[in-house]
Amino acid sequence: MSDIDLDHLRTWIGKSRTDEDLIAARHARLMAATVDYWAADRIRDGERLPPSWHWVYFLEGLPASQLGRDGHPARGGFLPPVPLSNRMWAGGRVSLLAPVVIGSPVRKTSSIVKVDHKQGRSGDLVFVTVVHELHSLEGELLIREDQDIVYKDFTPPGQKTSPPTAPPPAPHTKTYTPTSTMLFRYSALTFNGHRIHYDMDYCRDVEGYPSLVVHGPLNATMLADYAEELGGGRVREFRYRGLAPATLGHSVTLHATPGEKGIALQARLDGGTVCMEAEAVIG
């Protein structure tokens, strides 16, 4: 495990921070326009925030002097200083215990609970797990989320593995085509400065992607919203895992298979490559 001091990185375990935000209807309406939300008429004060949309609140706005080369906050602040070039959302588990009401103030506490090292096909991988809890100001727990962040080294395009054979289609599908405008708007809504979403030269030459990268949480949001559109109720549990990067130049088709315990979901690229899989439990 060259150049990775896991004991030092694990000193970040237990680090936490708290923030408050107003779940403003204007911000939610901008999100609805960005993802072409299927029930945009419901986005108003007093209504429930759709699943995963809490990701566009509680934004951290550091000055440029405190950002790293990749456009994220410099490492070694809240998150540990993992010495690997690529950083991305690997997946997560979200329990939506009570509605987050549009127009209400909410408190969020984030804590680092785990730092692990694994050896992947392309080299070292470091996973950092952060637990986020959202409470009403009266103290009711609204959302508990375990978020996995993965760090890896640059992988030259020629060394990337071939995509798997396309799985059979699911009973329900819905296709959307990410555009540079969509990525720009989502980055703006989340105040996400990661350059893989807007800087083509950096994306290709530093992190090794063939084109601009679609945000992992954007695909997760599309899957969660699709689960509610099909399920006719509120998502109570949502689990998602990134499997391959989605890049501009591909359409993304959402596949849904309802079952007894929930809805199995996948986001697939042209040709069938699964870029994200998820499961939603509808209440």
Sheet containing 252-258: which strands, arranged edge to edge? 16-22, 105-120, 123-136, 141-152, 86-96, 235-242, 274-282, 263-269, 252-258, 172-176
Q: Which two tokens stand for residue 277?
A: 């899989």
The one-digit pLDDT tens for each residue of the chain (283 residues) are 457 899 999 999 999 999 999 999 999 999 999 999 999 999 999 999 999 999 999 998 888 888 888 888 877 788 999 988 788 889 999 999 999 999 999 999 999 999 999 887 778 899 999 999 999 999 999 999 999 999 988 766 555 555 555 678 899 999 999 999 999 999 999 999 999 999 999 998 888 889 999 999 999 999 999 999 998 899 999 999 999 999 999 999 999 999 988 999 999 998 889 999 999 999 8
Are 266 and 235 in contact by the 8 Å Cβ rule? The answer is no
Q: How many Cα atoms within 13 Å fall on the side-chain side of residue 178?
A: 30
CATH number at residue 116: 3.10.129.10
| Structural domain count, the chain | 1
Within-domain flag for 219: yes
pTM: 0.92
Q: Can you tell me the distance from the alpha carbon of 61 to that of 234, in angstroms, rounded to the nearest whole number?
A: 31
Q: Which two tokens stand for residue 281?
A: 């439990």
Q: Helix, strand or coil for residue 231? A: helix
Q: Which residues contact 213 (CB under 8 A, 6 or more apart)?
A: 196, 197, 203, 245, 246, 247
Give kind and range of the element (H or E) at residue 5: none
Are 37 and 31 in contact by the 8 Å Cβ rule? The answer is yes
Within-domain flag for 191: yes
Q: Can you tell me the distance from the alpha carbon of 115 to that of 13, in angstroms, rounded to the nearest whole number?
A: 7
Q: Which two tokens stand for residue 259?
A: 């079952």
Q: Can you tell me the distance from the alpha carbon of 72 to that of 64, in angstroms, rounded to the nearest whole number?
A: 10
Segments forming the whole domain that contains residue 168: 6-282
Nearest 5°: CA angle at 236, between 233 and 238? 110
Instruction: Specify the residue for token string 């949502």.
Output: 238
Within-domain flag for 1: no
Within-domain flag for 168: yes
